[in-house]
Amino acid sequence: DAGVIQSPRHEVTEMGQEVTLRCKPISGHDYLFWYRQTMMRGLELLIYFNNNVPIDDSGMPEDRFSAKMPNASFSTLKIQPSEPRDSAVYFCASSPGSGAGELFFGEGSRLTVL
């Protein structure tokens, strides 16, 4: 399997612009997670899906952030409008569930908002 695939790997944008990050989970995995990583706050869980349904979005920082999973093989995280404090590395991870607890991470999308 190719693993979890994220795009873009790097994104530089200006404040106020819309940013869309994309994720393709490992085929057959029931869970999909979006994390944000910064030096100050470490690794933060933003939202997770089970069978394409959002289960917990309490980690989404504010209404500017939204996430969708229209099918089992694709998810997006959107920031609109973006702000400099959104600069971070955003990770997507998937898991087969079944109580295994192990997550498979993508390589991340590094976002810089100027």
Q: Which residues would be at the binding site for another protein (CB under 8 A)?
A: 4, 33, 42-43, 45, 48, 56, 91, 93, 97, 99-108
Q: Smallest gap, in angstroms, from Cβ of residue 1 to another protein?
A: 14
Q: Smallest gap, in angstroms, from Cβ of residue 93 to another protein?
A: 8
Estimate to the nearest angstrom the gap between the alpha carbon of 82 and the chain centroid. 15
Q: Smallest gap, in angstroms, from Cβ of residue 104 to another protein?
A: 8
Could you give the CA distance from residue 28 to residue 112 in angstroms, rounded to a whole number?
A: 32
Could you give the CA distance from residue 55 to residue 89 in angstroms, rounded to a whole number?
A: 22
Nearer to another protein by Cβ, of 65 and 91: the residue is 91
Nearer to another protein by Cβ, of 45 and 72: the residue is 45
Residue 91's closest CA among 109, 104, 103, 75?
109
